[in-house]
Amino acid sequence: MTTIRFSHTLLILIILMLTGCQTDKLERISYTSQVAGEERDFYLYLPNGYEVSDKNWPVMMFLHGNGERGNGKDELGFVLMHGPLKEAWIHKRDLPFIIISPQLHMFGMDESVSYLQNRDTTSIPKRMEEGIPERTPIAPTSETMNGDESELPDYITLPNGWERVEEDLIGMIDYVIENYRADSSRIYLTGLSYGGFGTWYLASAYPERFAAIAPVVGWGHPDLMAPVAEHEIPVWAFAGGRDPVVRASHFYPGLNRLEELGHTNVRFTNHEDLGHDTWKRVYRGGDLYTWFLTHHLNADSLDQ
């Protein structure tokens, strides 16, 4: 009888161990930034099932907006405020991606930007016990739609943006491919606002690395489009029709340039009823994640 009890207890322990191995996981990975030689961390999300599967998983890199910058240490939690990592980790959505989520350096922006000066770590969301919360409707903003605006700003990237840490970002991708079961043919890039601009820049600078990109409320300058078109990177760009910060009309010159260059695998979705926080609807939904998974690099791209 004692042996039976022991076997029963052991079976329960084995089941609990196997069940635990199937849960998702959030790691902090330390690295030395090429910008100033300082140690920083980035988040690495491992999806549900990673620990019990021997398959290679698709990778999504997410570039946050201006309000989530920080020192890559005790301020790293701010990158959980929005985007795919918030959906996967905070809301416990079953997103089948390894997610790389870095934090952009301050570069002195905290000396002049009020929302960086006034933020508080108490606003960083905590992982929910029950998982995906009830979704409340996203109300239209009070801004009017701005489709008549057409003049393109004369800058290619925003000041002190993600282009300043491009070597760090590519190093993170290389690290994940080398040390985790990552599928190098399915690396996806997305970002919002500042991160949307960074998405266009990084895809243009390293077009052979990405299977698809999705810049959200961040337009791409026409001068960045040639490498994207040459490598035929699938693009799905998102804008807010009432966005007073990054106007929807500013997307068109870059998108038209892609068309002129013969690139046809391009989507553009303008949420006419929303403002700059269009990203809430984009990342809450499932269409983008499903679309990402339909794309992969071919063998020729991987050999480059």
Give the 3-state secondary structure of the chain: CHHHHHHHHHHHHHHHHHHHHCCCEEEEEEEECCCCCCEEEEEEEECCCHHHCCCCEEEEEEECCHHHCCCCCCCHHHHHCCCHHHHHHHCCCCCCCEEEECCCCCCCHHHCCHHHHCCCHHHCCCCCCCCCCCCCCCCCCCCCCCCCCCCCCCCCCCCCCHHHHHHHHHHHHHHHHHHCCEEEEEEEEEEECHHHHHHHHHHHHCCCCCCEEEEECCCCCHHHHHHHHHCCCCEEEEEECCCCCCCHHHHHHHHHHHHHCCCCCEEEEEECCCCHHHHHHHHHCCHHHHHHCCCCCCHHHHCC
In a domain, 112, yes or no: no
In-domain check, residue 2: no
Q: Give the residues of the chain that fall short of pLDDT 70.
A: 1-22, 139-151, 299-304
Report the pLDDT value the prediction gives residue 146, as an integer from 0 to 100: 54
Examine residue 3 and state whether it is found in any structural domain, yes or no: no
pLDDT at 293: 98
**Residue 38: closest CA among 72, 70, 61, 15:** 72
What pLDDT score does 16 carry? 44
Number of domains in the chain: 1
Question: Is 125 part of a structural domain of the chain?
Answer: no
* CATH code of the domain covering residue 243: 3.40.50.1820
Residue 177 tokens read as 């491919």
What is the predicted pLDDT for the residue at 233? Answer: 99
| Terminal-to-terminal C-alpha distance of the chain | 64
- Does residue 130 sit within a domain? no
CA 266/CA 200 separation, integer angstroms: 13
Domain that holds residue 235: 21-106+138-302
Task: State the CB neighbour count (10 A cutoff) for residue 19.
Answer: 10
Does some domain include residue 5? Answer: no
Q: Which tens digit of pLDDT belongs to each residue from 87-119?
A: 999 999 999 999 999 999 989 888 888 888 889
pLDDT at 6: 42
**Looking at the domain assignment, is residue 163 inside a domain?**
yes
Determine, yes or no, domain membership for 82: yes
